[in-house]
Structure 1
Amino acid sequence: MNNRSLHIIYLIGVLGILSGFAGCANRGAPEGGPFDVTPPRLVRAFPEQGARNVSEKRIVLRFDEFIKLVNQQDKLIISPPQKTTARISASGKVVDIHLEDTLKPNTTYSFYFDDALVDNNEDNPLEDFSYSFSTGETLDSMQLLGTVLDAQTLEPVQDLMLGAYFASMQSDTLLSSTPIPFISKTNRMGQFVIRGLKDSSYLVFGLKDDDNDLRYSQPTEGLAFDGVAHKTWLLDSIRTDTIRIDSIVRRDTLHRDSLVTYPYTYYYPRDLLLRYFVSDVKRMGIERYDRLDSMVCRVEFASIPDSVPTMYLLDSPQRNPQSVYIASIEGKGINYWLRDSLLMQADSLRFGITYAKTDSLMQTATQTDTLTFYKPKAKTSSNQKKDKKEGFTVKLEASKGIKSQTPRDSLFIVLSRPVDSISSSAISVNKMVDTVATPILFEVRQDTKDKLRYHLDIAWSYGEKYKIDIDSLGVQSIYSDSCEQVSLQHEILQEKEFGRIQLSLQGLDVADSLIVAELLDKSGTVLGYSRASAQIDSMVQQAKSIEVDSMLTKLLAAQSEGKASSMPRTATEKEGISVTDSTLSPANSTDSLALPKDSVAKQKTIEPHSITFVDLKPADYYLRIYIDSNADGHWTTGKYPDQQPEMVYYYPKALAVKKGFTTSEVWFPLDLPLDKQKPEELRKTKPEEKRKRENKNIEYYKRLRDKRGKQGSAPMELPSGLPTSF
């Protein structure tokens, strides 16, 4: 065979190979394999995880894939806390930690990353990852777990520092004098875990550490504590988890989700509940002062004043202040309305004022200052005419909210300038029947703080219409201004238009007068309140009470005669007295029905309470109560170290009110833990769904199946149970 023939054969072979490549190319590019859906995995650590006798201040954590840190400042917690912030970096597959503080002897160091560690490509988080070592012979592994709720709203408190002290360190100044030795932080739902503890008893605190000194150094810092020593303990058990199909799938084999069981240690206590509050320490003092116009000198305070500080003229200190001005509280400020025309014409006025002021340590003392008020620049003539025309106005305003158009409605007379008094002769109130007006009685009283607001008290009746008039000459300001005549037509709805709520409150050993119920709308706004009263039992409830008392008498008599085993047993639940087998006798006992000491006497004192709201317009309402321990009519916050905030409980569902119906419910506030009570509709912070990531392997396996079908191969079944997200 000559050379020419060999060249032809060679060329044919090359063309055949190229055509084969072209055929392969037409079938599509080769797949790169399934997507990564697994989180990073720690493969090596220096020092080793759980190492003892460590003296090295540099920690190196190596993972099985490239990683990065997300929100490490918010999520990484190092305990014991570091005075100097540790240097932390992530590069490639390594996390490098440099501790700047000197290591403490015989101490366990815990590093909790939460879900701050993710892989570099798919952002798969390594959830709940922690690392620890000890500088001594023992690695402390005990934990304290719990939740922090806002004491008044029962909302979870996020990003609050949690601290633990040894119970043996107990003192009234512990939190303010000693830096917290073991720390953690609450998550979005107010939950916390304090790790790396010795097996001991601890006092637990939550602290809004505004100045980062690890102590309660300012009364304005938020705080949570219960004053109880909590003993740590553990329980070795097993745990069952589900392995999802996407983590073990093979291309051509059917797999199902699998259950895996492995040893697991449960740490206790794991249900601590702390109530967060800010002490009621009002910052007092003058913020600013100004002369609004020729008539009004205004003084702004740091908080809403409880009373009006007296101002006196320095040029005429002997003058009675009541002849100089009328003072009215408006928000955080007080308006001093000048009465004397000579004072109004003066370009400047010098007043002395004595008031309460808090210093930098929040200590309150009385202080006297001199305030100089300068008359503002004169306004243009057009503005002066306008001010004169609109200078004095009188308005009639009805109450808003759930009292509106009910017999508990209120009317207010609102003035733009003060008056010496309002005579009832200047006001007429008439009940209107068709066009016939019948005068009715009423009372006028001035507001205790806002001297420009008067209450008009009228005995309203269901389904009636009213007309109120104020004579234009009957009300004059202290500057002799008259107002235009004011009229208002008002209507009270018929009783059938309203519903009511009646709750039987069970299980609270508290006086009726100390239980305050607050009615809320779906936004959590307080619409009204009511104090609990003694519940009037029905004949059936009275009969049950008599029956239970009789049974207890028989049981006690039988016990003394040694015939208890022949007596019948009964259980009346949640009626104020509980008589059950577990109450009457020890476990596995057949010859004794001994009642726990004082149990009957104590339970019989827990009488039911009644909460009633009447004249409610049809809607969904919510309810909470607080125990007014100091009987001041307000919810009272806590104070470190010996005062807890007053207890708050939420009724756990909406109360639907319909026209003409009474919504009756029985409520046991102590049956549900506090973190489970608040209705979902009222929660500002809702449980966050676990982050879902699109499972791109769904598309991957579909493409493989379609390609195999086009190539004539047997169709490939998609893995059973493959989730669309995880």
Structure 2
Amino acid sequence: MKRIFPILILAYVAYLVFTTSCANPGMPSGGDKDTIPPVVIKTEPGFNARMFQESEIRLTFNEFVITDELREALVVSPPLKKRPLIRSKSKTLIIDLGDDLRENTTYSLDFKDAIKDNNEKNPLEDFRFSFSTGADFDSLMIGGYVKNAQNLEPVEGALVMLHSLHEIDAFKDSIPDYIAKTDEEGFYIISNIAPGTYRLYAVLDADNSLTYNQELEQIAFVDSLIIPQDLNLPGYDTETNPEDTVSVSTKQKDALETPFFLMLFEEESFSQYLDNNKRDQANMLNLYFSESLSDSFQVELLQPEPSKEPWSYIEYNKTRDSLMIWLTDTVLSQQDTILMAIQYQVADSLNNLVMRHDTLDFFYKKPESTNNRRRRKKDDDKPEPIPHITFKNNLKGQGYDVYRNIVLETPEPLERFNWDAIQLVQQVDTLEETVEFEMWQDSLSKRKFYIHHPWEFEQTYRLKVDSAAAYNYSGHPSNEINQKFTIQEESHYAKIILAIGGLNEPGIVQLLDNSDEEKVLQEIRIKGDGEIEFPFLEPDKYKIRLVFDRNDNGKWDTGNLDEGLQPERVMYYSKILKLRSNFEVKEGWVLPMVQYEKELIDENKEKAKKKQSQRSGRRNF
């Protein structure tokens, strides 16, 4: 018995090890992921119901739904005086529209993609619901796209409005008859419209007023009156399965025969005011304005009295909405407080230009020295080192661009500058030979100077500027410049040759970098058809944009609602050009009159097809 007992224990332990090691410690998979959106199984009233006299809409789904985004996304057209109240009860969504529904009116509720199931957040996409408070059911509709007028990017969240009032002022002070909001593709659709003619507008409604009442709001409008299309939309295809589940699909984008494109722009406005003024440096006063300053801007020094004339130099930025007043009077710059009067143009309540007078107080306190160490006695007799000024420049040792001018810039204005102290030499074999160059001062900033020379590829040059060639108003001399640099090799660059046809008005062809900012790298003004070149390009990707410059002023101009003036049109070349070093690209760009809108239509149809394909893929999973 004593021998059998240990054998039984060992057998039991072996059994435990064997059975536990065979167990699967992982969690059960739970099956495939749910990708099916909520399904509407019942509505009160029914789809496209007539003679609806209640205020609550009830939508019952086959599962629990979340509505966190619905309060912002839901668009009711015609618009209501107050926002609907939204709540859930079990699997039923309840929308209380209030008591201001109009008689004999067809209403459309656009839920966008805001209704989602509670588990996987699958959205019920492009869901719309409509009903009528009378015996008739309006089924006319319009749709299209809202684009940014400058870059043709789709504008999401723009409010699109239909007005039965045909006066322009209706957009500014009247509630629209019908509204819609654009999706991420800039697409909008207004359905259930009554017969008639309408004005069509769009606005980025900053204050949710349903009107255009702020200068900084971006707007768009269609020139002519709009007649809605008779496509029997919203046109829901509804069918009921044995379980009474209602499935809904819309024909929205495919049914549009004539999409209306709205080009969003911001009108020019003039609201001038002094935004800020400061004195961070003893000899420099900064002023910042909301708008560009006219030539009528004036400055008057009140206190203290200057010791010499002129006592200042004014330097504007490129847009003339900020400026630096340099104090060239050194006695004046040493004063702690400076009192000054300025005059500039502003718009009064009638939008007339008048002069405004402001008195400004500038204070500056010299910072205390952080060096508290005592000077040694043997250093007491040594003179203080003379401060120097240093020129900044845009040179680099290798690969300096062949088309670039040398830029010299000082930190503050110069009282004098001896240009004869500048020398440019070219290295020829082992020797350096002096070469001629042109030099001029910037028209906006007297602190900036340009040096031009027809550089030769792969050649080495040296810029020499003697020390003390320039002095500032405090009498401080400039440091020496002795910098060697080599011009980029010709094979590094690429070139674009573009032949444009079909252009019968002035235009501006812009070469853009391939980024969201679309920085303008080069631009060429043209009068019509022809061939243009963009030379000396870095190996990179580029976009090309054409501005139809109707007034031939060399820049893109915005629109004006009161004058019925649309913003100037822009068009993008269909390709993004990828360039390599020592590479020349030749492209032809034909501009038929209908191509502008056709490109936009084709682009958005392609996006819609892709999105529909993605939806089908998810639902057939």
TM over 0.5: yes
Equivalent of 2:477 in 450, 474, 482: 482
| Runs (5+) with no aligned partner, structure 2 | 1-27, 376-383, 604-608
2:567 aligned partner, one-letter code: P
Structure 1, residues 112-152: CA drift from partner, whole Å, max 9, x if none?
11222234445443332222122233211211111111111
For residues 151-550 of structure 1, what are the structure 2 equivalents within 5 Å?
151-166=149-164, 169-235=165-231, 267-281=255-269, 283-303=271-291, 305=293, 309-315=297-303, 323-330=310-317, 333-357=322-346, 365-380=354-369, 382=371, 392-398=389-395, 405-511=400-506, 514-533=507-526
Per the TM alignment, residue 185 of structure 1 is displaced from its structure 2 partner at its CA by 0.5
Q: C-alpha offsets along residues 424-451 of structure 1, whole Å, 9 cap, x if unaligned?
A: 2121112221332222222332222233
Relative distance call for 1:361 and 1:104 in structure 2 (3 A) is farther
Q: In the alignment, residue 47 of structure 2 is paired with which amino acid?
A: Q
Contact between 2:159 and 2:180, CA under 8 Å: does it hold in 1? yes
- For the Cα contact (< 8 Å) 1:650–1:677, is it kept in 2? no
Are the counterparts in 2 of residues 84 and 101 from structure 1 also a CA contact under 8 Å? no
User: Normalising by the residue count of structure 1, what TM-score does the alignment of the two structures yield?
Assistant: 0.69
Counterpart residue number, 1:599: none
Deviation at 1:666, TM superposition (A): 0.8
Which AA in structure 1 matches 2:282? S
- Relative to the length of structure 2, the TM-score reads 0.80
Match of 1:636 in 2: 557
Alpha-carbon distance between aligned partners in 1 of 2:30 and 2:274, rounded to the nearest angstrom: 72
- Out of 49, 57, 62, which is 1:59 matched to? 57
**Contact in 1 for aligned 2:80/2:100 (Cα 8 Å):** no
Number of corresponding residues: 566
Question: Residue by residue, what CA displacement relative to the aligned partner does 1:165-222 show, whole Å, maximum 9, x if unpaired?
Answer: 23xx222323113222211101111111112211333322110111111111112001
Contact kept? 1:498, 1:659, Cα under 8 Å: yes
Deviation at 1:33, TM superposition (A): 10
Q: Is the 1:145–1:269 contact (alpha carbons within 8 Å) kept by the matching residues of 2?
A: no
Q: In structure 2, what is the equivalent of residue 72 of structure 1?
A: 70
Superposed displacement of residue 328, structure 1: 1.8
User: 1:276 offset after TM fit, Å?
Assistant: 1.3
Question: How far off its partner does 1:485 sit?
Answer: 0.0
What do residues 199-252 of structure 1 show as CA deviations (whole Å, max 9, x unaligned)? 333322110111111111112001122322232223579x9x9x9xxx99xxxx
- Residue 618 in structure 1 maps to residue 607 in structure 2: no
**SS of structure 2 residue aligned to 1:73:** helix
Tell me which residue corresponds to 2:5.
Answer: none
The one-letter code sitting in structure 2 at the alignment partner of 1:450 is S
Contact 2:140–2:232 under 8 Å retained in 1: no
Cα distance between partner residues in 2 of 1:119 and 1:345: 70
Q: Report the equivalent of 1:627.
A: 548
Letter aligned with residue 554 of structure 2: G
In structure 2, relative to structure 1, the CA distance for the partners of 1:463 and 1:96 (3 Å cut) is: same
Residue type at the aligned position of 1:149: K
With over 3 angstroms needed to count, the CA separation of the structure-2 counterparts of 1:90 and 1:104, relative to structure 1, is: same
Structure 1 residues 38, 334: closer, same or farther in 2, change over 3 A? closer
Quote the residue 1:110 is aligned against. 108
Residues 43-58 of structure 1 aligned to structure 2 (within 5 Å): 43-58=41-56
Please say if residues 81 and 100 of structure 2, whose CA atoms lie closer than 8 Å, have aligned partners that are also in contact. Answer: no
AA aligned to 2:49 is A
Q: Which has the higher helix share?
A: 1
**CA 1:431–1:525: 2 relative to 1, 3 Å:** farther
CA-to-partner distance for each residue in 1:395-434, whole Å, 9 max, x for gaps?
222499xxx8444212111101111343321211122213
In the alignment, the residues of structure 2 paired with residue 506 and residue 165 of structure 1 have an alpha-carbon distance, to the nearest angstrom, of 39
**202-211 or 183-192, larger mean C-alpha shift:** 202-211
Give the whole-Å Cα distance in 2 for the aligned partners of 1:68 and 1:361. 50
Q: Which residue of 2 aligns with 1:149?
A: 147
Residues 471 and 224 of structure 1: CA distance in aligned 2, closer, same or farther (over 3 Å): same
> 2:157, 2:183 within 8 Å by CA — same for their partners in 1?
yes
Distance 1:389 1:226, change over 3 A: farther
8 Å Cα contact 1:113/1:129 also seen in 2 = yes
TM superposition shift of 1:313: 1.3
How far 1:162 sits from its partner (Å)?
Answer: 0.9
1:653 maps to 2:575: yes
Give the superposition deviation at 1:456. Answer: 2.0
User: Quick one: structure 1 residues 65 and 674, their matched pair in 2 at CA, closer, same or farther if it must change by over 3 Å?
Assistant: same
Q: 1:666 aligns with which of 585, 588, 593?
A: 588
CA contact under 8 A between 2:307 and 2:332: conserved in structure 1? no
Residue 533 of structure 1, CA deviation: 4.7
Percent identity reads: 27
CA gap of 1:662–1:66, structure 2 versus 1, over 3 A, is: closer
Contact 1:329 1:451 in 2 (8 A): no
1:457-503 Cα shifts (integer Å, max 9, x gaps): 32323333221111111111121110110123233334343331111
The alpha carbon displacement at 1:672 in A equals 4.7
SS of residue in 1 equivalent to 2:338: strand
User: In terms of mean alpha carbon deviation, does 92-101 or 76-85 score higher?
Assistant: 92-101
SS at match of 1:343: helix
